[in-house]
Structure 1
Amino acid sequence: MEILIPNRLSILGHPQRLAVFRLLMRRYPDRVPATELAQALGLKPNTLSTYVNALMHAGLLTQERVGTSLRYAIHMEAARETIDYLIIDCCRGRPEICSPDLYPTPLGETAMSARKFNVLFICTGNSARSIFAESILRDMAGDRFVAYSAGTKPRSELNPFSLQVLEQKGHDVSVLRSKNISEFQGSGAPKFDFVFTVCNQAANEECPSWQGQPVTAHWGLPDPVKVEGSDAEKNLAFHQAYGALRNRMTGFTNLPMASLDRMSLQKAVDDLGQSQKEGPAT
């Protein structure tokens, strides 16, 4: 493995190959179509092909063909081997010295205190999915969590179908507004324990690192705003997105936070992101 690791590090030393790797890490465990990767990174298809082939040769990516589409995902075992090699060899097994910010107080210890967990949900427009998630968590477990939402390119107004669904479900919509992610990146912003992306486009975008190294996960769902057709068809799509997020939020709030270490908690929220993609249209 010692021969293979330097080769992986050399492959990742190329800025655009590293960009592909980082995007797929943000989307893990999704398998992302090559066309989506190329569009998100502004690469020509043949250029992307060169980069992913190099990363696959180094063992860092896996490939799957779905119909005529090639899809890529991180080979997590190989990624962990590479990172572990750096920590064990370069840091002499003392990761808290090399990267102390990666080792904050365990969430289990925090859970024993009276402080609530801060959770941020991110999508592009902050007009539907992230607003749903914020509202659901606030009403479902507001005694344990403080819920926020934001958009990378927020719309000026919340989607009227979103508001209709939330009102039908009994949520208070007067406290909601569309917000830019920049509101939560300044010195006075809340320190987040969890950050979730709920749309693929937001996860594809490069965002600054969050202070305190929160647990992050990608909970991508189809965008109900993009559904075309009658008002009944659009309304159904919004209800399905709401149902899927409510299901995931139920699983999230039922996690035994105090007894899970960080790795177990990360796996749990990743698994929730792969659960039911659509909820019941109730």
Structure 2
Amino acid sequence: MNILFLCTGNSCRSILGEVTFNHLAPEGWRAMSAGSQPAGYVHPRSIALLAREGMKIDGLSSKSWDALPATPDIVITVCASAAGETCPAYLGPALRTHWGVEDPAHATGTDSEIDAAFMAAYATLRARIAALLALPLASMDRRELKAELDRIGREVF
């Protein structure tokens, strides 16, 4: 199973989703991340947070969705549509869902306030990923999975 975490810049939220998913996922599952307009770098605070959480950070890069290493089975957009962001629309055959998360790259304030914004985005994504991995996936059809993915994006924080 291949999961794609997708946003515009691929520097924060989608990277947090990719690395966290790969850290928690069972054998045979793989996450990747990409952006419709990649920033060209991974935000240093994302890297620092993931390192503090004990996750693998080697080889992270901001990537375009034009260069995916595999065809995704599930695409999860993470742009915060409530904040007026436009999420890219993935046009492949994958099952698509939206898990809006505020972009910590736009956080302002003290260092601790900015770090808290990164931690909030990470905590939301981690909780949603855990909820996805707890689903009885082997017994779910595509419609049921889509409904559960959408529910997780609305209800799990």
**For 1:95-134, what aligned pairs fall within 5 Å after superposition?**
117-134=1-18
Aligned partners of 2:144, 2:98: CA distance in 1, in Å?
Answer: 16
Partner of 1:242: 122
Partner of 1:261: 141
1:122–1:202 CA contact under 8 A, matched in 2: no
Higher relative contact order (CA 8 A, sep 6+): 2
**For 1:26-65, what aligned pairs fall within 5 Å after superposition?**
none
Partner of 1:164: 48
Amino acid across the alignment from 2:136: P
Partner of 1:55: none
SS of 1:236 mapped into structure 2: helix
Aligned partner of 1:150 among 22, 31, 34: 34
Larger Rg: 1
Partner of 2:155: 275
SS of 1:190 mapped into structure 2: coil
**For 1:212-227, what aligned pairs fall within 5 Å after superposition?**
213-227=93-107
TM-superposed deviation, 1:123: 1.0
Q: Which has the higher helix share?
A: 1
TM-score (norm 2): 0.92
1:152–1:202 CA contact under 8 A, matched in 2: no
Aligned partners of 1:174, 1:202: CA distance in 2, in Å?
Answer: 29
SS of 1:192 mapped into structure 2: coil
TM-superposed deviation, 1:275: 2.0
Amino acid across the alignment from 1:218: H
TM-score (norm 1): 0.52
Change in 2 beyond 3 A, CA 1:122/1:268: same
TM-superposed deviation, 1:191: 2.2
Q: Structure 2 unaligned runs (5+)?
A: none
TM-superposed deviation, 1:249: 0.4
Query: % of aligned pairs identical?
Result: 35
SS of 1:175 mapped into structure 2: coil
Aligned-residue CA RMSD in angstroms?
Answer: 1.4
Change in 2 beyond 3 A, CA 1:144/1:225: same
SS of 1:266 mapped into structure 2: helix
SS of 1:173 mapped into structure 2: coil
Aligned partners of 1:119, 1:275: CA distance in 2, in Å?
Answer: 20
User: Deviation per CA, 1:72-97, whole angstroms, max 9, x where unpaired?
Assistant: xxxxxxxxxxxxxxxxxxxxxxxxxx
User: Deviation per CA, 1:6-64, whole angstroms, max 9, x where unpaired?
Assistant: xxxxxxxxxxxxxxxxxxxxxxxxxxxxxxxxxxxxxxxxxxxxxxxxxxxxxxxxxxx
Q: Structure 1 unaligned runs (5+)?
A: 1-116, 278-282
SS of 1:228 mapped into structure 2: coil
